Amino acid sequence: MNIVQADIVEKEYGEWPSFHDAEIMRVTLSCGLEAGKFAKITADINLYYTKEINKGTAQYEIVKTKDNVITIEFYGVESVVISEFNYQNVIDDLILKEVGTLIGVEFQSIFGVEATFTCEEMAVLRMVGKNEYKA
């Protein structure tokens, strides 16, 4: 399965991540304004990694080692089901699977948004530090 510009994320995280505990910050649905690219969904996803320091001491803490907002665009979207979007939208996983010639996408919810849809193509548009993110 090809994800256009996946290397933007893979360079930072070492691989394509599972997006476990990531938060969906924004979801935008758009009709087909670009020639040959029909309906699309754009999602801003906050993905952070943590590590423990000073374990077993009074100075123990968990610190963020990576904290980025990744914008992913899904083109040629069909069969969209989105529910439960609210003030906090934490996912367990971003599941991608081949469905014939399409990509099946599922935002598997922990709390908040759940979404399933198929798309023809997906691309990473950008990745910025959470402190630089502007919706």
For the stretch 47-70, pLDDT in tens is 998 888 888 888 888 888 899 999
Closest CA to 75 of 103, 51, 48: 103
Is 80 exceeded by the pLDDT of residue 88? yes
Per-residue confidence (pLDDT) for residue 58, from 0 to 100? 87
Q: Is 47 helix (H, G, I), strand (E, B) or coil?
A: strand
Is 70 exceeded by the pLDDT of residue 9? yes
Cα–Cα distance for residue pair 104/49, rounded to 1 Å: 26
- pLDDT tens track for 92-109: 999 999 999 999 999 999
Least confident stretch, 27-36, 74-83, 119-128: 27-36
Q: What is the largest CA-CA distance in the chain?
A: 59
Please state the rounded mean pLDDT for residues 3-17: 95
Q: Which residue has the higher pLDDT, 128 or 57?
A: 128
Per-residue confidence (pLDDT) for residue 53, from 0 to 100? 86
- pLDDT tens track for 19-42: 999 999 999 999 876 666 679 999
C-beta of residue 127 within 8 angstroms of C-beta of residue 70: yes
Per-residue confidence (pLDDT) for residue 43, from 0 to 100? 97
Closest CA to 49 of 26, 68, 24: 68
Flag whether the pTM goes above 0.85: yes
